[in-house]
Structure 1
Amino acid sequence: MSRNSLLPPHVDPSIFQVCDVLLGIGGLGYTVCYVLIARQSIRDKTYTMPLFALAFNFAWEIVFAAFVTEEAGSRAIFGLWMLIDLALVYTTVKYGATEWKHAPVVGRNIGKIFFVMLVWCWLGLYAISAWWLDPENPVNPKVGKIYRGTKGVDVNELGFWTSLVGQVVLSIMSLAQIVVRGSSRGSSYSIWATRFIGSLAGLNMNFGYCWWTAPRAHVKRVKANMGLPPESCLPLHPRNIDKFLVNECTMSSDDEDLKLAMAMSLQEDTAGTTENPPASGIVEAIDLSSDTDDEEDVDEDLRRAIALSMQEDEKPNVAQQPASGTITPATVSTASGFMGIDRKAMEQERLARLGKRKRNASPERPSKQVTRSPPASAPSKGPILQYPKGVIKRTFASKYPRTNDITIDELLEAPHVNIAVICSYQYDSSWMYEKLDPTKVKQIWLMYAKFRGEDIREKLLQEWAESRVPNMRLHFPPMDGMIVSMHSKFMLLFGKEKLRIAIPTANMTPTDWGEVGNDWQPGVMENSVFLIDLPRRSDDGVGKVEDLPPFGRDLVFFLKAQEVGSKVTDGVLKFDFADTKHLAFVHSIGGSHKEESERPTGLPGLANAVRELQYDDVEHLELDYAASSLGAINDTFLSRIYLAARGKSFTKDNAVVPDVRDHIRIYFPTNDTVEKSTGGPDCANIISLSRKYYNASTFPKECLRDYVSTRRGMLSHNKLLFARGRRTNGKPFAWVYVGSANISESAWGGQKVLKSGKVGALSVRNWECGVMVPVPDDKLEQVDLKADAVPPMSVFEGTVEVPFHFPGAKYEGRRPWLFGPG
């Protein structure tokens, strides 16, 4: 393996030493083999290596010594091999005629024939090498590989394939030569043994060890040659990054308008649309208020499915071809509609399923879903409140040990869900259909509907209507005025006996949930999720908002602000929130808030949550904030976060907290950490910090700490605020916020002190939501603390798995990962 390679953190640096040993053994084996061939040829007065094989090997050594390799040691070895090859050429020319008595013309001109073969092989290998190593358009580039200063160019794989071809040619032709000659003169067991050892160590074991240790950097071409889909490997070439960004790596939340424009421009729909929209009756919103699956629903579903099927047969194909030859991911046709779903196949399956249900009243078996995460254990019959008090879990990551994590399938429990209300900044619809089959689960998707400041909800609704996805409704929260991003993330999963509420930091994409497109690649991105299971009310009725604990009141308040409709909020009120008294739902409602409402939002909302849970009696407080996006941070904004975490309001008198930078640490990856991560820079486009923001004189650089995941090589999309402190009575406390809010005024709201001394309106540009979860008192009582010391980060064990190494390393001259405008 080239010493110029940048290893991901999950690959042990000893790979270099192991490869050096294996290559050394291989090189020694080949050298001894060539010497033995020369000696045996002179002894037997013949030539041992077949003519074309010798020409290929000689040409390979010339090309790699003169043009390819950068390392002096490799050049010296290739030079030694060429000197030995001259001895082999000598024996070929001197004794070749005796082996070609049946073809005297060949025997007399064997030297000339060899020279022609040598030139032909040299030209071919040189052309292949130049094509493979082209810095502008390299073959099969990979993150971490560097060749002559150009990142991504993989000279190791070139060496593997060309040397493999040379050895295969030599093996086949050597066997053929023995058969033609009728004897093994020129050969010996020692020649065979040394060549076998050289090939085994230098070729097979060396590259095999690289593949086993770091498959991401060594296997893509192999899988492509086997006919596997290119998505099964990381598409690292710049021309493939567009698809990767949209389908594998989501965009971040700050400067949302610009970054969403980037993502959507990559998905620009080049296909024509139908001339006329479908009949209104076909796209009529489905009633999602009922969270049971009774016979009346089945009858309605069957009638609707039959109607859709009949219209499918009657409707002419009016889809137009794209103007260019490239089909973008957003291409919509009558066969593949909203976000790529195959409507006709879905409706046919739905007809068969519903017809079967009409004949047989027994419960249907869940469809076999394609999933790349470990299968969840079979759910038991009846409602089980697995998380009645709430829990925070890490998201699953492929190829990493299972700890306190959860897969998307384990979270969704699809066979037990009747209705799903899902809010996300970005969706991978095909993947979502696999996880929650819309023919079986009624769904509402809350979506983002602004593009470069333009309202695009009509376009999205039309595409959805044309797709005729069953049992689904799209909803767009208000995006008026200053609001630029619907960045909140939550799931309301309604079952017959329980409601599961999940609040993740992840978008609804496979990468965010740790899944990959193959069986060997580790996950590249980690997130966190809060989830809680609520039982149905004992009276089976709809509760009152005013009777709810703070968590429930703020959740319903947020849902109403998002205008999801009374059927959803009434559905939530059918469940018992009694066991949420220790929790707080923290939200940011987009817009301008001139007066504090009944349920404050943004940073005032966080402060209100701290007060309601009685964590505002603070003597000393330390904050550790892990985020995937940083805005235009300054001391004033840090002071507002710090005050809110103490339960205090922002006023003229406390606008800037003295020494606030000494009490807040911000966890964000350095450029080196991203470069060496498993996914590499191509997976870091959801992690953003503008160069303009970072270079500002007011940016608190000394607060930055390198986010290094405890899962080696993982990047993070987490938004976690850890608070540790002492009350005025000396008792310790700790709590954590997990949600969608990054460190920016867009997420938490901007607010200024006016000249009059009054505090101005709260301006919130994003929709956000999260949960504040305290560390239990009995856990804190177990902590042995010195006087005036705050609890250590280990106090969160049992409440949340801290996903990064603590204390994080200071930057100390290193630069952060910079991505974004400016």
Structure 2
Amino acid sequence: MDSHRDPFDGDEEAALRYAIALSLQDPNALASSSTAQNPIELDDSENEDDDLDDGPKCPPTPKKSTQLVDRNVKTPTTSHSVPVPQVTASGIQSSGFSALGLDRKRMEEERLARLTKRKAPHDDEISERRSQRVKIDGQSSSISLANTTDASVRIKPPQLPYPKGVVKKTWVSGYPRQDDIKIEEILQKDQLELAVLSSFQWDDEWLLSKIDTKKTKMVCIAFASSDYQKEEMRANVPRDRIRFCFPPMMPAGSMHSKLQLLKFPNYLRLVIPTGNLVPYDWGETGVMENMVFLIDLPMTKDSANPLTTFGQELFYFLKASGVDESLVNSLSKYDFSETNQYGFIHTIGQSHVGEGWQRTGYCGLGRAVKSLGLATASEVELDFVVASLGSVNTDLTSAIYNAAQGDNGLREYEKRTTGGGKKKTAQKTESSYHPDNFRIYFPSHETVSRSRGGKNGKWWDSPTFPRELVHDCKSVRSGLLMHTKILFVRHQNHGKSQTSWAYVGSANLSESAWGRLVKDRVSGQPKLNCRNWECGVLIPMESQAAKSGWEAFEKRVPIPMIVPGEAYEDALRLLWGP
């Protein structure tokens, strides 16, 4: 049955990007497209891994440039306008920091001019500075998040701004400030020493207005369609200041993760936003809001510093992305103990067999729920805010529901693959569908009709599309559209206290984002196919807030939408027809 599935899972974004990839293939590319599926280390050496999948080999689709629209961004109504640049004729030239506007020759001349104005330092000063440098230039592939850059900053560490972790809404221009946060307040450009950034969409010029590259070195976890494009991207930036890491990609996948690792003199800041590195996702156009989780980790003197489960999964995700091993290992110099209460949830864009399938996608979500003591056999209430909605089916909603109870993915998989699974009809059953306990929040029919899918969104008419689950999504900040991805899990009142929790991250509700568990044709064992790279954080509520209602979240996670959202199946069916 799976062999006849849409290879893009109804994901028009992925289909468009694949079409662009085919049109942009260059006969002078440095290597075949299949090599682009292997992780690229931060140094120039090639690290060849095994093929990712036995399926058809297609060139990876190109990362959207600053001139391509992120389809996850919801189209605004007539009362607001988001400036949307147009697609250019040359997608390669406009993508991946090619628009940085950095004149390397001029920068070198200015650097030499500054040197002539300075007095030559003593030899011991030179030695001290070299030992403290964050090594990111061509002299070494070693990059460390743990080194300080100047002995003068090693004074009594300041109190950490967010030592326990916090979730905030993003600031939006024109709205009163109320427990929100700006991108400038996250990056703190005057103190930032090293930034490891990932995003689905980049606005290069805007990003460089937020980071001082004279002070801050950058590692960008990004997408490139080929080795040729990777080299172009590397050539367009000063390599001693900005480096790239290119995760391996599935044929129709997206590098959708938005993780940030920010090194300051005395601590490391972990940031998990729902928005991309573009101005409208950070409120600067006044029409879009997102959410962000951040936690500050102090440096530790404990040589036997044990990693929490959160830290282990972060390491696992970064290594799978192809991030330089020395950079990943340097994370162990920070104290992760405060992350014990959280779960790092990820989707790694590969096919996973053996025990690996249990660590990522919706299988990893269920595993984290169980490891944090949140598993339950009782019914749960799910409210999932999404920024895009494609070919969702009842198999996926059942898998997510089960994961929220602590299931590792096998419950839905075994029901689908055994007991006449091939003859399974598209009927929705109460035992697997949960229509009364699962709500998907998505903008109303007016916004959908103005989106690129428009009235041609025929996935709505699929017999397996869970129409009854979709509810109108309205921000509590009136007039704002939402690019937020957040899942709230509550418990019905069964006469016992159970802890509610939330997921905040990059993953929308799609098989591309959460994966699909299938039977491996070679081994006959479960195999999880994931197209996208995603990451998020699972946040349990405080124990005293173990309540069945929305008040369980009021102390830790802002509720961005009006609840309960109005179901609007009838309105959409009138819009799209019978």
- Fold in common (TM above 0.5): yes
Match of 2:296 among 515, 518, 533: 533
* Corresponding residue of 1:810: 567
SS at match of 1:732: coil
SS at match of 1:772: strand
Change (3 A) 1:653 1:327: closer
CA contact (8 A) 1:503 1:770 kept: yes
Match of 1:774 among 519, 540, 547: 540
Q: Is 1:799 the counterpart of 2:573 in the alignment?
A: no
SS at match of 2:333: coil
Match of 1:397 among 167, 172, 177: 172
Cα RMSD after superposing both structures? 3.8
- Cα distance in structure 2, aligned partners of 1:711 and 1:357: 53
SS at match of 2:398: helix
Amino acid at match of 1:555: L
* Corresponding residue of 2:247: 477
- Cα distance in structure 1, aligned partners of 2:522 and 2:237: 55
Q: Is 1:508 the counterpart of 2:303 in the alignment?
A: no
* Corresponding residue of 1:461: 231
- What is the correspondence of 1:370-519 to structure 2 with a 5 Å cutoff? 382-450=157-225, 456-468=226-238, 470-479=240-249, 481-482=250-251, 484-516=253-285
SS at match of 1:616: coil
- Cα distance in structure 1, aligned partners of 2:314 and 2:460: 35
SS at match of 2:356: coil
Change (3 A) 1:354 1:800: farther
* Corresponding residue of 1:665: 439
- Cα distance in structure 1, aligned partners of 2:480 and 2:21: 26
* Corresponding residue of 1:563: 322
- Cα distance in structure 1, aligned partners of 2:101 and 2:515: 36
CA contact (8 A) 2:42 2:324 kept: no
Residues 166-207 of structure 1: CA distance to partner in whole angstroms, max 9, x if unpaired?
Answer: xxxxxxxxxxxxxxxxxxxxxxxxxxxxxxxxxxxxxxxxxx
Deviation at 1:708, TM superposition (A): 0.9
Of residues 352-361 and 556-565 in structure 1, the stretch that sits farther from structure 2 once superposed is: 352-361
Of residues 727-736 and 408-417 in structure 1, the stretch that sits farther from structure 2 once superposed is: 727-736
Q: Is 1:604 the counterpart of 2:363 in the alignment?
A: yes
Change (3 A) 1:674 1:726: closer
Change (3 A) 1:492 1:689: farther
Deviation at 1:732, TM superposition (A): 3.1
CA contact (8 A) 2:342 2:539 kept: yes
Change (3 A) 1:726 1:663: closer
* Corresponding residue of 1:584: 343
CA contact (8 A) 1:671 1:817 kept: no
Match of 1:258 among 5, 15, 26: 15
CA contact (8 A) 1:420 1:494 kept: yes
Deviation at 1:759, TM superposition (A): 6.3
Change (3 A) 1:465 1:696: same
Change (3 A) 1:331 1:725: same
SS at match of 1:458: helix
* Corresponding residue of 1:717: 483
Higher fraction of helix: 1
**Larger relative contact order (Cα-Cα within 8 Å, sequence gap ≥ 6):** 2
CA contact (8 A) 2:519 2:527 kept: no
Could you say which structure has the larger radius of gyration? Answer: 1
SS at match of 1:738: strand
Deviation at 1:756, TM superposition (A): 13
Amino acid at match of 1:444: V
Amino acid at match of 2:179: N
- Cα distance in structure 1, aligned partners of 2:330 and 2:228: 27
- Cα distance in structure 1, aligned partners of 2:120 and 2:182: 35
Of residues 697-706 and 647-656 in structure 1, the stretch that sits farther from structure 2 once superposed is: 647-656
Percent pairwise identity: 39
CA contact (8 A) 1:746 1:766 kept: yes
* Corresponding residue of 1:217: none
Provide the aligned length of Structure 1 versus Structure 2: 465
Deviation at 1:613, TM superposition (A): 0.6
CA contact (8 A) 2:18 2:252 kept: no
Residues 101-133 of structure 1: CA distance to partner in whole angstroms, max 9, x if unpaired?
Answer: xxxxxxxxxxxxxxxxxxxxxxxxxxxxxxxxx
Change (3 A) 1:637 1:329: closer
Structure 2 spans left out of the alignment, 5+ residues: 1-8, 30-40, 45-87, 130-154, 417-428
CA contact (8 A) 1:422 1:489 kept: yes
Deviation at 1:352, TM superposition (A): 5.1
Amino acid at match of 1:472: I
- What is the correspondence of 1:225-304 to structure 2 with a 5 Å cutoff? 254-260=11-17
SS at match of 1:383: coil
SS at match of 1:432: helix
CA contact (8 A) 1:506 1:717 kept: yes
Deviation at 1:763, TM superposition (A): 0.6
Deviation at 1:413, TM superposition (A): 1.2
Of residues 549-558 and 654-663 in structure 1, the stretch that sits farther from structure 2 once superposed is: 654-663
SS at match of 2:280: coil
SS at match of 2:504: strand
Of residues 628-637 and 767-776 in structure 1, the stretch that sits farther from structure 2 once superposed is: 628-637
- With normalisation by structure 2, the TM-score equals 0.72
- Cα distance in structure 2, aligned partners of 1:402 and 1:762: 43
Deviation at 1:671, TM superposition (A): 3.0
SS at match of 1:445: strand
* Corresponding residue of 2:144: none
Change (3 A) 1:470 1:390: same
Residues 197-244 of structure 1: CA distance to partner in whole angstroms, max 9, x if unpaired?
Answer: xxxxxxxxxxxxxxxxxxxxxxxxxxxxxxxxxxxxxxxxxxxxxxxx
Change (3 A) 1:357 1:704: farther
- What is the correspondence of 1:719-758 to structure 2 with a 5 Å cutoff? 719-726=485-492, 730-752=496-518
Residues 1-58 of structure 1: CA distance to partner in whole angstroms, max 9, x if unpaired?
Answer: xxxxxxxxxxxxxxxxxxxxxxxxxxxxxxxxxxxxxxxxxxxxxxxxxxxxxxxxxx
SS at match of 2:209: helix
Change (3 A) 1:635 1:757: farther
Change (3 A) 1:757 1:417: closer
Deviation at 1:459, TM superposition (A): 1.6
Deviation at 1:813, TM superposition (A): 2.1
Residues 621-660 of structure 1: CA distance to partner in whole angstroms, max 9, x if unpaired?
Answer: 0000001112322222111000001001323555573451
CA contact (8 A) 2:171 2:177 kept: yes
CA contact (8 A) 1:394 1:404 kept: yes
Deviation at 1:585, TM superposition (A): 0.1
SS at match of 1:607: helix
- Cα distance in structure 2, aligned partners of 1:439 and 1:688: 45
Of residues 434-443 and 761-770 in structure 1, the stretch that sits farther from structure 2 once superposed is: 434-443
Change (3 A) 1:560 1:337: closer
CA contact (8 A) 1:269 1:328 kept: no
Change (3 A) 1:406 1:726: same
* Corresponding residue of 1:80: none
